[in-house]
Amino acid sequence: MKKRNVLLKICSLLLFLGYFSGLFTASSAYAQEDILTITQNAGYQTNEFYKPKASIVIEAQTGQVLWEDNPDLKWNPASIAKLMSVYLVFEAMEQGKFTLDTTVKATDNDQAISQIYELSNNTIVSGVDYPVRDLLYATLVQSSNVATVMLANLVTANDEAKFIHMMNDKAKELGMTNSTFYNCSGAETGSFNGYYKPEGIDQNADNVTTARDLAILSYHLLKNYPDTVTFTSPTQITIMENTPYAEVLENHNYSLPGLAYGYEGADGLKTGSSPTGGFNYAATAKREDTRLIEIVLGVGNWEDQEGELQRHAFGNAIFDRAFATYEYKKLLSKGNNTVNQEEIILDQDFYGVLQRNTEPAFNLSADKLTVETGLTSVSPTIKAPSSNFKYAKKLKALQNSTLLKNVKKKNGLSTFFVNGLLIILGLLFMALAKLFRKEPIEASSSKKFSPIFALGILFILAGVVLSIYTVVVGPWI
């Protein structure tokens, strides 16, 4: 019997260990699922050769990271660098330096750059005025290097080196800690055949950044200048319409709806490719209230142009994963709410990122409300969502206290008024007593007692005593 019990216990223990071992194995397998597996499971035909070197997905309102794989790998972003140039253009317009309708007169150098076959460009004719609006479309839709240079020169009055320094200064300001820019468009300055040559800048150096830094840049670009998507979303657009220089531009972002890898809600941002950087992709898509930003770097290599399409397969797949797992939504409404068994009052509606089909866990600290998500921010400079609040009980107590003070103040004024009336009344009675006192026909050594005069004295004494009481103790009414 003893042996049987021992065997049963051993079997139970083995089953118990086996169960939890299975759970651990399953969770480990899930945790180790990489971007290649995710993309293949999403139905895209791809293989290890095209696997991105780095990737990240963040939520666009909060900057919280929903997916990351090697996000701090330093990489050449190629034409995605144009997003930094565009940021500085929008900033200059915000500062009132020019507008979308401002025109830039093309120079001989601009025309020469537009004719360099090896560079992505649109047609530019010397002496023609090109609106900033059209140059932005050329930069973001066609990935035109010459349009980017023309915009950069507009910002700095043709000081090419100054613009590069502005790019690096802005990168530091935004929290892009692993980025260095050497040119404004993503193409080495040495490839411009001397027509674009920022003084004192290494002509053969590639721009360097990371998936994380590009996500930070995209976050600030969309947050500060949401109209950016107006220039990144067209699949095709005609610039310089109704002029002899009209030109149709085609977008290389094949994840835009209607194109080869069309993705629901996609409306930007920028592709980039180069011999040293392979194929790269910065994207944004919005579904309902949730907007995501993703960066995919180093897909395939330059010799195999299939990478131009494959980057969209990987981008779409991790977008699918993030949209299916997380959502940005209103968590609490403005006004009275019960949080952690506390009655609180919010100044405004509170939004945040939450895993789908889960309930939010809130934190109340000092006067700040936050939500626990287990997610990290893409940058220390981008804070998690929070909202000011007041404890309902404390607010009510404060209101009651203020009301009581106001009542006491009002009562105090009323009391002093009554006290004053008593004194005035006393003085009046004393005056009346003297006025109506009848003098005897014959002089008398003793004066008659006057009750009116005595009553006046009593009123005055009462007014004085009650005034002292009000000052020392408080209102007596």
* Contact between 384 and 374 (Cβ < 8 Å): no
Is 16 within the bounds of a domain? no
Max CA pair span of the chain: 140
**Confidence bin at 172 (pLDDT 50/70/90):** very high
> Is residue 9 domain-resident?
no
CA 5/CA 194 separation, integer angstroms: 88
Q: What pLDDT shows up at residue 447?
A: 55
Q: Which domain holds residue 263?
A: 39-328
Structurally, the chain folds into a number of domains equal to: 3
- pLDDT for 233-249, tens place per residue? 999 999 999 999 999 99
Binding site residues for substrate, as ranges? 270
Task: Give yes or no: residues 418 and 336 share one domain.
Answer: no
Over the chain, what HEC string results? CHHHHHHHHHHHHHHHHHHHHHHHHHHHHHHCCCHHHHHHHCCCCCCHHHCCCEEEEEECCCCEEEEEECCCCCECCHHHHHHHHHHHHHHHHHCCCCCCCCEEECCHHHHHHHCCCCCCCCCCCCCCEEEHHHHHHHHHCCCCHHHHHHHHHHHHCCCHHHHHHHHHHHHHHHCCCCCECCCCCCCCHHHHCCCCCCCCCCCCCCCEECHHHHHHHHHHHHHHCCCHHHHHCCCEEEECCCCCCCEEEECCCCCCCCCCCCCCCEEEEEEEEECCCEEEEEEEEEECCEEEEEEEEEECCCCCCCHHHHHHHHHHHHHHHHHHHEEEEEEECCEEEEECCEEEEECCCEEEEEECCCCCEEEEECCEEEEECCCCECCCCCCCCEEEEEEHHHHHHHHHHHHHHHHHHHHHHHHHHHHHHHHHHHHHHHHHHHHCCCCCCCCCCCCCCCHHHHHHHHHHHHHHHHHHHHHHCCCCC
Q: Residue 317: pLDDT band by 50, 70, 90 thresholds? A: very high
Residues 274 and 378 in one domain: no
Q: Which residue has the higher pLDDT, 317 or 415?
A: 317
Strand pairing partners for 55?
69, 296
Report the CATH number at residue 173: 3.40.710.10
Are both 386 and 402 inside the same structural domain?
A: no
Both structure tokens of 252: 């290389």
Mean pLDDT in residue range 51-64? 97
Q: In whole numbers, what is the pLDDT of the chain averaged over residues?
A: 86
Say which residues have a Cβ less than 8 Å from residue 325's Cβ, sequence separation at least 6: 66, 355, 356
Known catalytic residues?
Answer: 79, 82, 143
**pLDDT value at 83 more than 60:** yes
Average pLDDT, integer, range 453-476: 75
Mean pLDDT of 437-449: 53
The partner residues of 338 in beta bridges, in order of sequence, read 343
Reported as a single tens digit per residue, the pLDDT across 183-219 is 999 999 999 999 999 999 999 999 999 999 999 999 9
* 411 band by pLDDT with thresholds 50, 70 and 90: low
pLDDT at site 341: 79
Q: The domain that contains 342 carries what CATH number?
A: 2.30.140.20
Binding residues: 270
Nearest to 145 by CA among 198, 93, 189: 189
Residues 367 and 466 in one domain: no
154 in any annotated domain: yes
Q: Are residues 219 and 351 in the same domain?
A: no
Q: Treating both helix axes as pointing N-terminal to C-terminal, what angle do 160-174 and 211-224 enclose, rounded to 10 degrees? A: 90
Query: Does position 15 have pLDDT exceeding 50, yes or no?
Result: no
Give yes or no for residue 441 having a pLDDT over 80.
no
Q: Are residues 388 and 415 in the same domain?
A: no
pLDDT value at position 457? Answer: 81
pLDDT value at 44 more than 90 = yes
* Residue pLDDT, tens place only, 89-103: 999 999 999 999 999
**8 domain-assigned:** no
**Among residues 313, 328, 343, which one ends one of the domains?**
328
Query: Do the domain assignments include residue 4?
Result: no
Structure tokens at 408: 């006491």
Asked if 234 and 283 sit in the same domain, the reply is: yes
Give residue 152's pLDDT: 98
Q: What percent of the chain has pLDDT over 90?
A: 65
The residues near 137 (Cβ < 8 Å, ≥ 6 apart) are 231, 234, 237, 239, 249
Answer yes or no: do 465 and 387 share one domain: no
Of 297, 328, 359, the last residue of a domain is: 328
Average pLDDT over residues 53-60: 98
Query: Does 1 reside within a domain?
Result: no
Distance, in Å, from the CA atom of 104 to the CA atom of 153, rounded to the nearest integer, reads 9
pLDDT reading at 312 higher than 50: yes
Rg (CA), the chain: 39
Q: The tokens of 138 are what?
A: 């050329």
Say what the pLDDT of residue 365 is.
81
More confident call, 339 vs 103? 103
| Per-residue pLDDT at 477 | 66
Q: Of the candidates 308, 328, 348, which is a domain's last residue?
A: 328
In a domain, residue 17? The reply is no
Residues 214 and 107 sit within 8 Å (Cβ to Cβ): no
Axis-axis angle for helices 145-156, 132-140 (nearest 10): 140
Over residues 318-328, mean pLDDT: 96
Asked whether the predicted pLDDT for residue 156 surpasses 80, the reply is yes
Establish if 23 belongs to a structural domain.
Answer: no
Do 316 and 455 sit in the same domain of this protein? no
- pLDDT at position 346: 83
Give the confidence band of 416 by pLDDT, cuts at 50, 70, 90.
Answer: low
Contact 148, 185 (CB under 8 A): yes
pLDDT at residue 413, as a whole number: 61
Q: Please give the pLDDT value at position 449.
A: 65
Q: Looking at the structure, do residues 278 and 297 belong to the same domain, yes or no? A: yes
- Same domain, residue pair 314 and 372: no
Same domain, yes or no: 432 and 387? no
Total Cβ atoms within 10 A of residue 403? 10
What is the pLDDT, as a whole number, of residue 423? 80
Distance of CA 397 to the CA centre of its chain: 35
